[in-house]
Amino acid sequence: MGTELTELSSEESDELSRRSPSRLSTCSDGTAVEPPSTPNLITEGCENVLDMTLTHLFKVDLHHSSPSSALDGGMNDTLCDTLEQATAEAENATRNAYQETFRRGKSERDALEAIHMAQASESLYIEELDMRKLAEEELKKEKEELDNMKSQRDKVKEELLLALDQKSSLESQLASSELAIKELEQKIISAVNLLQSYKNDRDELQMQHDNALREAEELRKRQGEALSTHVSQLFFEFSFSEIEEATSNFNPSLKIGEGGYGSIFKGILRQTEVAIKMLHPNSMQGPLEFQQEVDVLSKLRHPNLITLIGACPESWALVYEYLPNGSLEDRLVCKDNTPPLSWQTRIRIAAELCSALIFLHSCKPHSIVHGDLKPSNILLDANLICKLSDFGICRILSLHESSSNNTTQFWRTDPKGTFAYMDPELLASGELTPKSDVYSFGIILLRLLTGRQALGITKEVNYALDSGKLKSLLDPLAGDWPFVKAEQLTRLALRCCEMNRKSRPDLYSDVWRTLEPMRTSTGGTNSFGICFEGLYQPPAYFVCPIFQEVMRDPHVAADGFTYEAEAIRGWLDSGHDTSPMTNSKLANHNLVPNRALRSAIQDWLQTC
C-alpha cells in the first residue's frame, strides 16, 4: 500500500512540480507533499489530510526506529494492526488529497481559460458592437444618399417632363415658323418676279416720277387759288399761322404720329380739338397724297370714315377730327399700358370696318379701293368706334379700267403699303382690286382674334385649326372667347386670305351677313350701318347736345362745342352766360359756323 501511495504521489508530484515546484516539500522517506496552492484549495477535508500526513510521518519515524526495540518494549499485535491500518488510511487520505488538489488545479486552469475566453468573447462582442454601430452609421449615410438620389431623380424627372413640354411647344413653334417661312418665301418669289418685271421699266418710271414732281409743283402754283376756293366751300380753310398757333409752333410734345406723308400733331383750331397732318419737307409724294385725300374725303361721308375738317393749301396740311384712343395697332399691343380690347369690341370693330369697305367698294359711279388697309390706319374715337383713315394711296376704279371679263375692276400700279397685309396677287400682277382690300381685312380679322403679328399669321392659324389647337391661339387679353363664334370668324378670315382672289368671299353677301348678327348678339350699339340697306344711326358729333337731333346749321360756341344754331342762340338769349355742357362761364357769346360739319351732315342725309 505504501508503494502504491509513493507511485501515485510521484505522478501527481510531477504534475504539481510543473505547476508550482517551489511549493513542494519532501518527507524523510522521499515522499513529496504539496501544500494548497491558493486559498481556494483549503476545503473542509484539509484538516483530515494534515492529520493523515502527521500520522504518515510518525509511521516513517517508527520505521526508522529499531523494530526489535519496539517489540522488546512489549508492543502487542493489536497496536501494530491499528498502526498499519492508520498508516494505510493516511496513505489513502494523502492520495485522495493529491487527487483533489489535482482536480482543483485543473478546475482552476479551466476557470482561468473560461475567464480568458469570456474576456475574449466580451472583446469580440464589443468589437462586434462597434462594427455594428459603424455598419449602422454607414447604412444611415447610404440611406441619406439614397434619399438624395431619389430627390435628385424626382427633380430630374420633373425637369425632363418640363423639357418634353418645352420640346413639344418648340416643335409646334418650329412647324409654325416653317409654314411662315414658306409663305414668306412664296411672297418673296412673287416680289422678286415682280421686281424683275419692273427692272426694265425703272428708268422710265424714274422719268415719270420726276415729271410728276414737276407737274405737282406747277399744280401747286397754278391751282393754289382754285384749290383754296374749292376747299373753302366744303371745309374750313386755315392759314399757316393758324396751324402754327394750334400746334404751339409744332411743339414736339404735341406730336402724336409719324408716317410716310409727314408728322401728325394734336392741336386746337377755332376752339375745336383736331389732328393736323403736316407734309414732310422732304416728302416726294406729299402733294399727290394731299390732293388724293382732298378729292376722296371731300366727297365721302360715312360713320366709320375719318372726317376731314379742313386744309391749309399754303403748307399742304390736312386737318382731321381728333380721335383720342389712337390706332387699332396701338390698342392691340396695349401701347402705354392701355387696357386691351374685349372680344365683343373686336367683333364690333370688324363689323364697322366691313361696313366702311362695303361703302367704299359700292360707291357710284366709281368704286374706291383703299389699298393700304392695316391696323395703324384704323383709328378709334372716345367710344372705340373705328374710323378708317389715310386715303393717300387709294385708287378710284373706272369702268374703262375693268378687265376683259368686264366683271372685275382693277388698277395697275406699283405695289405700295405694308408687306404683311398686301394681296399676293397684287404683288404678282400689280393689279389692285376690291378683293385686295378683302385680303387685308382677313389679316386684320386674324389679328383681332389672336393678337399676334401679321407676318405668317395665316399659316399659324391654319396649323392650329387643323390640329385642334385654335383655342390656345386666341388672344387671352380679349377675355373668354365664345369658341363657336371664334372658330366661325377664323374660317371666314382664312377665306378672305386665300391666295387666289376669286376664292375670297364677297364682303356684303358673306362677310357682313356673318359679322352683323354677331355684333348684334354682343349687345353693341348700332353706331353704324350700310347706306344702301337704309337709314343708320348718325355719328354722335352730328347730334346737337341741346336738341338731341341731327344738326342742320351747326355752330361752334366759345366753349368749343358745336350746337344747332337755333338751340345755342335760344340758350344765350334766355340770359345764360355759361356753357350748356360744362357750366363754365363763356368767354364771349360769339358763334362760328361749322361749315365742315354741316357739309358732312348734308352728305350723310343725302346718302341715307
Q: What does residue 50 show for φ and ψ, rounded to 5 degrees?
A: -65, -45
Are the beta carbons of 403 and 368 closer than 8 angstroms?
A: no
Residues 6+ apart with CB under 8 A from 394: 292, 296, 360, 368, 369, 370, 371, 372
d(CA 314, CA 300): 24
Rounded to whole angstroms, the Cα distance separating 307 from 68 reads 178
Residue 423 to residue 437: CA distance in whole angstroms:
8
Cα 568 to Cα 547: distance, rounded to the nearest angstrom: 10
Active-site residue (options: 165, 203, 372, 437): 372
Distance CA 389, CA 363 (A): 17
Look up 553 and say whether it is catalytic. no
Q: How many angstroms separate the CA atoms of 485 and 470, rounded?
A: 12
State the pairing for strand pair 554-556/592-593: antiparallel
- The residues near 440 (Cβ < 8 Å, ≥ 6 apart) are 370, 373, 374, 417, 421, 422, 423
Cα four-point dihedral sign 213, 294, 595, 559: negative
What's the Rg (C-alpha) of the chain?
61
Backbone angles phi, psi at 89, to 5 degrees: -65, -40
Burial of residue 233 (CB within 10 Å: 0-12, 13-18, 19+) is exposed
Give the H or E element holding residue 519: helix 513-521
For residue 493, what are the contacts with CB-CB under 8 A and spacing of at least 6?
442, 443, 445, 446, 449, 461
Identity at 431, one-letter amino acid code: E
Residue 155, annotated ligand binder? no
How many angstroms separate the CA atoms of 420 and 408, rounded? 24
Strands 308-312 and 262-269, bridge-based pairing: unpaired
Residue 504's SS3 state is coil
Nearest-angstrom CA–CA distance, 512 and 408: 20
Nine-digit cell string for 141 = 449615410
- The set of residues, in sequence order, having a beta carbon less than 8 Å from that of 346 and lying 6+ positions away, is 448, 449, 478
- For residue 462, count other CB atoms closer than 10 A to its CB: 16
Contacts of residue 373, Cβ cutoff 8 Å, sequence gap at least 6: 357, 388, 417, 421, 437, 440, 441, 444
Where b means 16+ CB within 10 Å and e means fewer, 341-358 reads: bbbbbbbbbbbbbbbbbb
Nearest to 434 by CA among 531, 489, 356: 356
Distance CA 163, CA 140 (A): 34
Binding residues for ATP: 277
Q: Which residues are catalytic?
A: 372
